[in-house]
A and B are shown apart, each in its own frame.
Chain A
Amino acid sequence: DVKVTQSSRYLVKRTGEKVFLECVQDMDHENMFWYRQDPGLGLRLIYFSYDVKMKEKGDIPEGYSVSREKKERFSLILESASTNQTSMYLCASSPLDPTGDEQYFGPGTRLTVT
C-alpha cells in the first residue's frame, strides 16, 4: 500500500521559531510537493521538487524554504514562523509525468504559531 507520512499531526510553535516539517514517501516517486490548506482557499502549492536537490517555487513560497537530500524525503522549513503561517500543511508525491498523474497525500500537519 502506497504511503506518504508526515512527521507530526499537530505542532505548536512560537513566533520567530524555526520550524521543520518532514515528509517521507515509500513509492520511489520523483515528484514531491508541499501545499498549504486554508478554508475557502483550497490547496495552494508552496514548493515542489522533481528530483533530489532540485526545487521549484510554487504559488506561495514566501517565508518558506525546502530541502530534498534524498529521493524519499522532502522537508519544509519555516525560517522564522509567523502567526499568518498557522495552517494545515499537506505533503504529496507523484510519479514524474508532465501530462499529470495522481498525487498521493500525507495526512497533514496542523501547525499553530502563537
Chain B
Amino acid sequence: GENVEQHPSTLSVQEGDSAVIKCTYSDSASNYFPWYKQELGKGPQLIIDIRSNVGEKKDQRIAVTLNKTAKHFSLHITETQPEDSAVYFCAASSPSTDSWGKLQFGAGTQVVVTP
C-alpha cells in the first residue's frame, strides 16, 4: 500500500519568513495530494490540494509543488503570520480498486511562527 513520509516534524520560523514542508510517497499510481491544517482543538481542514496532472498550484500565500518522477510534493507558505501556527498534514490517494478515495497521511509537521 501507499506510504507517506513527512519532514520536518517541527518547524520554527520568524514571522514574515517562508516555511517549506516536504513529503514523499511510495505508490507511483497516487494521483491526489491534499494538505490539511489542524489548529489546536479542531479537526484537520483542507488548505490546498493538487492532482498528478499539475506540477504546481498556488492560493494566495500557500503553494504546493509536485514532482511525480521523484515522488515527492511540498507545501510552501510565504510571508508567514502567527495564525499559520498549526499542525500540517500531507496525504496521498491512490486510485486502486479498493481505495475508495482513501487518504494515506504523513506524520504531521508542527509549525510555530514567532513574532
Q: Which residues of A contact B (CB under 8 A)?
A: 4, 31, 33, 35, 40-45, 48, 50, 56, 58, 90, 92, 94-103, 105-108
Contacts and interface: CB of A to CB of B under 8 A. Distances in A.
Interface residues of B, number: 27
B34 A4 contact: no
A102 B34 CA distance: 8
B81 to A, nearest CB: 23
Contact of A106 (B9, B43, B46, B89): B43
A41 B98 CA distance: 23
Contact of A105 (B6, B9, B44): B44
A103 B103 contact: yes
A100 B103 contact: yes
B54 to A, nearest CB: 13
A52 B42 CA distance: 27
B44 to A, nearest CB: 5
A58 B41 CA distance: 24
A93 B44 CA distance: 12
B43 A107 contact: yes
The 10 closest A-B pairs by CB, nearest first: A100-B32, A105-B43, A100-B93, A42-B107, A43-B105, A42-B105, A102-B46, A50-B100, A105-B44, A97-B101
